[in-house]
Structure 1
């Protein structure tokens, strides 16, 4: 059995774990890091996006090496309303993420193809028998869902394609809900990476976790055709199922997510309850960890728990909106909530995505004619509506 030593072992080389490693490397270069990832590449198979208003200067500097697309605004489309917004928008890719981490970290600070069998106080055991001894361990291996959280699902299939001709887009389409509404709230998301290269994602806010790959691929092709685009080649593809949280037992979720070690990213519940959006929280947490004076096991475990609990408390209003979406709205009419939301002030929209809605924002969202049946909305507010579905990983196979 081999033994490796580190000051901090970070389990999971995805967005949360990788950003913590980068932030620590910048702020504490003397710290011996070991980033452990079960796959051969870091970052998985993803396109992540964020608004310029989501992160401050330090956050933008941290993310800059991973950014592949940057635009000065974006658009949304709904059946009865369309809008262009001037908020800057950025997209990152897994390949850039992997390159940036390998460029910034020493070669011996990255361990890929390594599956974790057990993680505890100061020690990690890998499937090949390797033992990692560390002063602290941070678990960023992704969310564990065992029924303590409830709500619905956001699922998607995305394809980066090369077209036979230029697409003509100058900015992303973050939501095009003018498409046929199927399986809940459906919209198409488009990122123009080049004159004839575009990422097209077919997304659903659904009660089901099933991804019918052939059906979604056909809808992407049909959408491209409806825009006058001919797909010449599919360059990259990704699919996923993410939780949309409307309620839950936070203490039960925390206890079920692992032993007494620090946690990060979705493992710690650090994502937006409505959008499943994790970039802003991953950036904030990574920068905060790097500024901690005490990087011992106990200190980091306590810090991550307090941070995650504050996030849960702060996002109660967002969970209420998720409840409205999944419990008050008819599935094929869920788009009306986002159509209503996007008629509001640009700064309110920015604060919502950044997870920083104010009391005035919350009041403003509920002003006017509700986009859901009044009786159902009142039932949700009173806590007497339909019970939300427990969220578990069981049955999340993609078909």
Structure 2
């Protein structure tokens, strides 16, 4: 439904600003489990999800969660591989991908007349979403799922990528995703290639960099993809589509202050609530978990939903301090061209530990195992990463100095 021809209910029970992954999954889960709840889903683009591919390990979510997500999964593989200078490893962990086109095709019909596309949002408030053309969508509760926003309350690194879905002249020979190939030249931080084989001749190939800055040099990453395919002997016959992104990697932050910057009385969701894995950048498990919890709430009034969402986001953040420590070590203790050694060492650990890590379920024994032995970074620099509050204060002071100097 176009913004200029709104057919959403006169007043929805819940209005969601943003039809990306988190907003769409919340709407989807509500339609599946709470059909009596009227939902308005407002997206600025022409379709839900934009132009993206979201992936997750099957072990990232429970069997019950996977059951309702499964209809959205476009591709699933029984195993995955990683490649580093010292080894090539295959892990018998299932890997799944959801495409934005699949997300739209499944969710849009369920939301039906509650869907507004090409809707340029001017304002969100506890009881409405106002569009720039003057249209107003009223609701008992409003969820803000419009993606990441800038904030001085978080210290971030960045995972930048360009991905191309490519058709090759001949079969590529892969039967499982390569989620990290770090055997490539290390440029702009930790660099790896990521390959999802969709058919025997079609694959999504992404050049990814864990970098200090957010600037995305698309041409450089396109060249990286082309060079990688040439080295692998894959002759490209067609570029089917291209996607790109700059994802946050959390190093430190004041989560309460960050959440206070949101609109009071509006429930934050997804990247708006800093709901992503601090080191891997994966966001789908968090988006699915929040969707489930929202749909399970007895009280879906605006104030109650906003309080719940803020508490949930703050709790998730606090429980992930260990991952932020590792992010700080990756970005601040390792030289940019040596960052791959941190991941190389990690991927030599037991598969069960790796699965728990991606799922955000790392326990104290895992933490000890990850940190045991000779660190892959200089000890003196690693010590400077301890203590998130001190690290945050130093980073904020350095940022303020740079701004004062006009940098």
**TM-score relative to the length of structure 1:** 0.95
- Asked whether the 8 Å contact 2:265–2:302 carries over to 1, the reply is no
User: After TM superposition, where is structure 1 displaced by more than 3 Å over at least 4 residues in a row?
Assistant: 1-4, 382-392
TM-superposed CA distance for 1:391, in Å, is 9.3
Alignment of 1:314-329 (within 5 A): 314-329=319-334
User: RMSD across aligned C-alpha pairs, in angstroms?
Assistant: 1.8
Is the alpha carbon distance of 1:146 and 1:127 closer, same or farther for their aligned partners in structure 2, counting shifts above 3 Å? same
Q: 1:54 & 1:139 partners in 2: Cα distance?
A: 24
Q: 2:395 & 2:365 partners in 1: Cα distance?
A: 27
1:341 aligns with 2:384: no
**Map of 2:41 onto structure 1:** 35
Q: How many residues align?
A: 391
**Map of 1:313 onto structure 2:** 318
Alignment of 1:84-233 (within 5 A): 84-105=90-111, 107-233=112-238
- Asked whether the 8 Å contact 1:16–1:140 carries over to 2, the reply is yes
- Asked whether the 8 Å contact 2:252–2:391 carries over to 1, the reply is no
TM-superposed CA distance for 1:382, in Å, is 5.5
- Asked whether the 8 Å contact 1:327–1:388 carries over to 2, the reply is no
Q: 1:78 & 1:309 partners in 2: Cα distance?
A: 35
- Asked whether the 8 Å contact 2:22–2:269 carries over to 1, the reply is yes
1:21 aligns with 2:27: yes
Alignment of 1:347-362 (within 5 A): 347-362=352-367
- Asked whether the 8 Å contact 1:152–1:391 carries over to 2, the reply is no
Q: 2:399 & 2:286 partners in 1: Cα distance?
A: 21
Is the alpha carbon distance of 1:340 and 1:391 closer, same or farther for their aligned partners in structure 2, counting shifts above 3 Å? farther
**TM-score relative to the length of structure 2:** 0.93
- Asked whether the 8 Å contact 1:148–1:248 carries over to 2, the reply is yes
Aligned mate of 1:11, from 8, 11, 17: 17
- Asked whether the 8 Å contact 1:54–1:280 carries over to 2, the reply is yes
Q: Deviations over 1:243-279 (max 9, x none)?
A: 1111111122112233321111010111011111101
Q: Deviations over 1:23-71 (max 9, x none)?
A: 1111110111100001111001101000010111232122222211110
**Map of 2:253 onto structure 1:** 248
TM-superposed CA distance for 1:151, in Å, is 2.8
Q: Deviations over 1:109-150 (max 9, x none)?
A: 111111111111212211111111111111111111122100
Query: Which sections of structure 1, spanning at least 5 residues, go unmatched?
Result: 393-399
**Map of 2:403 onto structure 1:** none
- Asked whether the 8 Å contact 2:169–2:234 carries over to 1, the reply is yes
Q: 1:151 & 1:262 partners in 2: Cα distance?
A: 23
